[in-house]
Each structure stands twice: as C-alpha cells, then as structure tokens.
C-alpha cells in the first residue's frame, strides 16, 4: 500500500466535520490522492454528507450527524483509503484549460518589476510563464481562485509590501512560488503581470466554476486586440475556452 495512504490520518473537525490528512508535504502525488478520494466521496451514495472540500494535502468532510454517525463515516472513509492504497480506485482524467492572457501594459503593471528582479526580458518572462501546465491544487481565497503549482524558479518574486485594495477580475499574478489569476475583483498582494478576459466564476450557475482542483491551467499570450475580441464574445456568450485532456 502507498505510504501516504497508509499514514493518512482521520481527524475530528468540530461536531460536523472530519479531516483526512495525507501529511505535511505539498506534492503532485499527494494532491492526486486527494482528488481521487474526493471523487469517490462525492459519488458515494450515503445520506448525510453535506460537502467535501479538497485542499493541497487534505480533505474536509462536512456531515449531518443526524443522518450519519461519525463512526459510520470513518468506517466508509477507511474502506476507501484501503482501496486507494491498493490501486483499486481509477485515476482521474485531467483537463487542461487554456487561459488567454494579455501581458504587460495597464493589464500587467508589475511585469517591469518582475523583469528587473529576475533579470529576464519581458519576452522571456512571458515565454517561461506560458510554457507550463499548472496543476490546480485547490480553490480558495475568493470564489474559484486557483492555487497553482509548478511555477518556474526563474519567475519567483516576493509579494507586494502593501496590499492593493482593488485588483480587477482576470488579473494574472505571481507571488513567491505561486501563480494564478483573480476570478473576481478583490484586494491582494500578488505581482500583476497580465490579465485574461476569461470568465471563471458564474454565480448564477448550479456549478459556478469553470475549473476545479485537479485540473490544469496553461496560459497563452494574446494581443490587446485579441483580449477585447474575446472579452466581447464572452459578454455575448459566444466564446468557449479551449479545453484539452492531459
């Protein structure tokens, strides 16, 4: 059995919560285990489970103790962990959502700082940032905000010293070893290098998010004209992002 699964801990989180913790590391392997177990728990036909929330390396399960006891839930989770550790749970198909980004200028006011800090050219910053597929470890902070792994060490820069009070929706940023984009307008400390016209949060929909933890994002450089062309299509509902299977 996989060591991460064998050593997984089931912890109490209040009267209606339970945490399945796979350890202290943040790795692709652990996150894949998290996503596999989340999929199984979400498809489990057991009354009383309210919500299953994945994080980098753990899962929080909220349940109704009037419909399912903690012991019943723990027994079911342990059985799923055994199946997961023995390779009996099928791996998840990974989607890659391609995110168009207009880099620099008013859309990326911090790209010049990134250039000075990294001693790379703007073209090199863009080429490096768009060259990888980034795993979405979890969503959080604001609705649908993707926490991505896999940023190239060459692009690592510190956060802003002072929080920006207003960051436009779609702003693409870097903070330490993380990158991602703001799915709604909010405050933040990330270094902004571009903006995407892509809409990733639809509060009016039953499933409000364009992507989920376990998917991948890949950024693609576009021009200002392309930005507004795509933006207009999104406003009229005539644009669909490119999605491929990894």
Q: pLDDT digit string (tens) for 85-116?
A: 888 888 878 899 999 999 999 999 999 999 99
Helix (H) or strand (E) holding 238: none
* DSSP 8-state secondary structure symbol assigned to residue 107: G
Tokens of 122: 């703007």
Q: pLDDT digit string (tens) for 19-77?
A: 999 988 888 899 999 999 999 999 998 899 999 999 989 999 999 999 999 999 999 99
Q: pLDDT digit string (tens) for 132-167?
A: 999 999 898 888 999 998 899 999 999 999 999 999
Burial 11-42 (b: 16+ CB within 10 A, else e): eeeeeebbebbbeeeeeeebbbbbbbbbbbbe
Domains, the chain, with CATH or none: 3-85 (3.30.1360.40), 95-245 (2.40.100.10)
Q: Is the pLDDT of residue 126 over 70?
A: yes
Q: State the pLDDT at residue 1.
A: 66
* DSSP 8-state secondary structure symbol assigned to residue 90: P
pTM of the model: 0.86
How many CB atoms neighbour CB 205 within 10 A? Answer: 9
Report the pLDDT averaged over residues 219-237. Answer: 97
- Please write down the HEC assignment for all residues of 60-86: EEEECCCCCCHHHHHHHHHHHHHHHHC
């Amino acid at each position: 059995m996989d060591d991460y699964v064998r050593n997984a801990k089931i912890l109490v989180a209040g009267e209606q919560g339970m945490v399945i913790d796979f350890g202290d590391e943040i790795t692709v392997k652990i996150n894949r285990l998290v996503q596999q177990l989340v999929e199984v728990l979400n498809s489990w036909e057991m009354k009383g489970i309210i919500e299953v929330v994945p994080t980098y390396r753990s899962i929080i399960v909220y349940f109704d103790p009037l419909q399912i006891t903690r012991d019943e839930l723990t027994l079911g989770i342990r059985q799923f962990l055994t199946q997961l550790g023995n390779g009996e749970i099928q791996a998840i198909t990974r989607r890659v959502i391609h995110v168009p980004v207009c880099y620099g200028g008013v859309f990326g006011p911090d790209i010049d700082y990134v250039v000075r800090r990294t001693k790379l050219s703007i073209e090199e910053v863009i080429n490096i940032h768009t060259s990888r597929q980034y795993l979405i470890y979890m969503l959080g902070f604001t609705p649908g905000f993707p926490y991505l792994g896999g940023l190239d060490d060459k692009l690592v820069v510190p956060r802003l010293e002072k929080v920006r009070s207003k960051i436009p929706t779609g702003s693409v940023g870097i903070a330490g070893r993380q990158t991602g984009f703001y799915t709604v307008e909010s405050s933040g400390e990330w270094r902004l290098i571009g903006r995407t016209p892509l809409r990733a949060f639809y509060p009016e929909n039953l499933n409000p998010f364009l992507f989920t933890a376990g998917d991948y994002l890949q950024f693609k450089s576009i021009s200002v004209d392309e930005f507004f062309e795509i933006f207009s299509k999104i406003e009229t509902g005539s644009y669909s992002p490119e999605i491929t299977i990894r």
